[in-house]
Structure 1
Amino acid sequence: MHKVVRMSLKRVDLNLFRVFEAVMHSRSVSGASKDLGVTASAVSHALARLRLAVGDELFVYGDDGMVPTPRALAIAPAIREGLGRIEDAIAGKPFVPAEAVRTFRIAASEYGTSVVLTGLIARLAESAPQLELRIFPYSRLDVVQQLDEGRLDLVVGWFSDLPERVRRATLLKDQEALVVRRGHPLAGRPATREALFAYPFVVVELLGAGDQASDGFVDDRGVWRRVWIDRLVMEADDDVAAVAHVAVSLPHYASVADILARTDMVATLPARIARGLVEAGGHVTLELDLPPLEATVEAIWHQRGERDAGLQWLLGQLIEVTRSEAAP
């Protein structure tokens, strides 16, 4: 049996942990080498030394690149936090937006990007032109793991319960709106449940979670993320014999307008998206005989971000720009 010989951690070069973090981010040796500005050979050599020190493979080859082992996933948060503390101690200077060169990684849906982040992007173009925002899909079921590992800085979406390690900030509130094509048989008259349920529905499930979702939320490592806003589909009513027929389920909003324009289907959308469709002239909203379901859009981040001056500045800008937007 092969015997693993461990090096003393007292003699481990701290740069090896920078290589570890880079591979965790990119999931590839070549990607890490580009991020660090060194050769792929240097990254491979550093990984070999760190594997010897830790006594674990740390990364193995998989279909999607370098896959971290359970041991790597366990130590990643501590390494990220330790490197962050060292960077803070060495920097010893305030974050200057106009001079900062940095990449922030954010997970957001198309709603989060178009409604929440576009205002921030416009502001950063003026106040912090050297910052880069990389927007990743909110639809992935591992965004919280990426947040834990430091591969994401922020996640923008709808949430319920959060674990203690995750911080949150309210950005805005939105509510559901019923949308149909202009000229729909229901347009211009009261939309009772019985009348609505005579028509098929289009539902947007941001994660494509289907039956995994509970009351519109799915559990992602202890973070409850909302995957749709649709009270009619979620809630049953003993007084109404009919039930909603979901004819189409999508992971995005982009195709909803065209589907509604070509059919008599009904969609329940966030009011801000519905308002854009109505203003374009091809759709109308319906009045429901129930108070609309309201959802709070938030930004969440890992607790280690509390010591990150740059991230805290970005959060402040995001909160300020979203709260300055007009209410729906």
Structure 2
Amino acid sequence: MLDDRRVDLNLLRVFQMLASELNATRAAERLGISQAAVSASLKRLRAMYGDPLFKRTQRGLQPTPRAVLLHPAINEALRIVEETLASVGDEPAQPLEIVRIGLSDDFEMAYGAQIIALAREQLPQTRLVFRQTNSQMAAAALHDHEIDLAITSGSINDARIRHLSLGSADYAVVFDPAFRAKEQGAFTLDEFLAREHLLVSFSGLTGITDEVLAEHGLKRTVHAATTHFSGLPFLLRGGDCIATIPSHAAAALCRLGMFESSPCPVAFPRYAFGLSWHFEALRRPRIMKMRDLLSAMFKRLDAKG
């Protein structure tokens, strides 16, 4: 018989996170403790229940049949404890929880600070982690629980991934105004083609600008390339190169006070972007709350134009 004098509610919380994440490192992140502490707790849990509970595999932890049976019971036990604490008039302190948002650095530059402020106000005891991803990588990262939410261009064609449209974006030309007179106004096509360009693309070889120009039988001169939008402030500053990037990233650079932007002299197709999550995240209220906050935030931004 289980000796209830040895039961520590924190151990049950560790079990809950391990069963949810099936990965000791991610469970430790969500709990805000070290991986060594999670391992020590799992050792105590195994001794308590007389069962291995979780076995290590190449893809993470696999729950034993006993752990599968225990999971809903432990969830219910923790829920009851929380309700009893709430019934005395004081809200129980929320444990620190990690919410990992995958996004490319153009979205991080443009919206990261707003997302952090939103979480600080609306989701106390939540630590946000931004991780680099894109539409090609996001599905695998969501399946492997490396991220909880993904903000990407386009959508993800996967039955296990849920998707919500957030809006659409276009492109703008960004440059150091020290190398261009203000009275020149917006870039003409001739000036755009005559200037040297900094390319930002995942491959570092070609990008959407080259594809659009090719449709018109045109070509630009690429002086250098980077795979990260976040490097642009250091690469554009003090030089006469220009960069054609998503308009939200251009606006973020202009807010630094060192750059200006201009409309593109050729028409670019707008592209949709949205928010994705794995269907299993429906069991995690804090992730769902963050999803709803992000949706509302982008609706407000879209209304402002």
TM more than 0.5:
yes
Evaluate the alpha carbon distance shift between residue 16 and residue 108 of structure 1 in structure 2; reply closer, same or farther with a 3 A threshold. closer
d(CA) in 2 for partners of 1:196 and 1:150?
43
Q: 1:15 to 1:84 in 2, by over 3 A?
A: closer
Structure 2 Cα separation of the partners of residues 255 and 16 of structure 1: 40
Matched, 1:33 2:36: yes
| Structure whose residues are more often helix by fraction | 2
Checking the alignment, whether the CA contact within 8 Å between 2:175 and 2:242 is kept in structure 1 is: yes
CA shift in 2, pair 1:305/1:281, >3 Å? closer
The answer to whether 1:234 aligns with 2:193 is: no
Question: For 1:208-259, what per-residue CA distance to the aligned partner results, in whole angstroms no more than 9, with x for missing partners?
Answer: 3346xxxx9xxxxxxxxxxxxx53222343653x412322222322331332
User: Following the alignment from structure 1 to structure 2, what is the Cα–Cα distance between the partners of residues 150 and 84?
Assistant: 19
Distance 1:244-1:193 versus aligned 2 partners, 3 A rule: same
2:98 is aligned with 1:121: no
Residues 124-170 of structure 1: CA deviation (Å, up to 9, x unaligned): 32333212222223379754323102232111222344211111122
CA distance in 2, matches of 1:40, 1:176: 51
Residue ranges of structure 2 left out of the alignment (5+ in a row): 1-13
TM-score (norm: length of structure 1): 0.64
State the SS of the aligned residue for 1:171: strand
Equivalence map 1:69-84=2 (5 Å): 69=59
- Contact 1:108/1:138 (<8 A) preserved: yes
Offset of residue 176 of structure 1: 0.7
**How far did 1:88 drift?**
6.1
Structure 1 105/81 Cα, relative in aligned 2: closer, same or farther at 3 Å?
farther
Q: Compared with structure 1, are the counterparts of its residues 40 and 285 closer, same or farther at alpha carbon in structure 2 (3 Å cutoff)?
A: same
How far apart are 1:192 and its partner, in Å?
4.2
Q: Is the 8 A contact 1:32 1:43 kept in 2?
A: no
Counterpart-to-counterpart distance in 1, 2:137 and 2:44: 29
Question: Unpaired runs of 5+ in structure 1?
Answer: 1-13, 59-67, 217-229
State the alpha-carbon separation in 2 of the partners of residues 252 and 112 from structure 1: 11
Alpha carbons 1:157, 1:299 under 8 Å: kept: yes
Would you say the 8 A contact 1:100–1:128 is kept in 2?
Answer: no
1:250 has 2:246 as partner: no
State the shift of 1:189 in Å.
Answer: 4.8
Of 268, 274, 277, 1:298 maps to: 274
Matched with 1:156 is 151
Change (3 A) 1:145 1:232: closer
- Bigger Cα displacement from structure 2, 281-290 vs 158-167: 281-290
Tell me the number of residue pairs that the alignment of Structure 1 and Structure 2 aligns.
Answer: 272
What is the root-mean-square deviation of aligned Cα atoms in Å? 4.4
Could you give the per-residue CA deviations for residues 263-313 of structure 1, whole angstroms, max 9, x where no partner exists? 221101222332243454433323333334323332211112234333222
Structure 2 residue 12 is the aligned partner of structure 1 residue 18: no
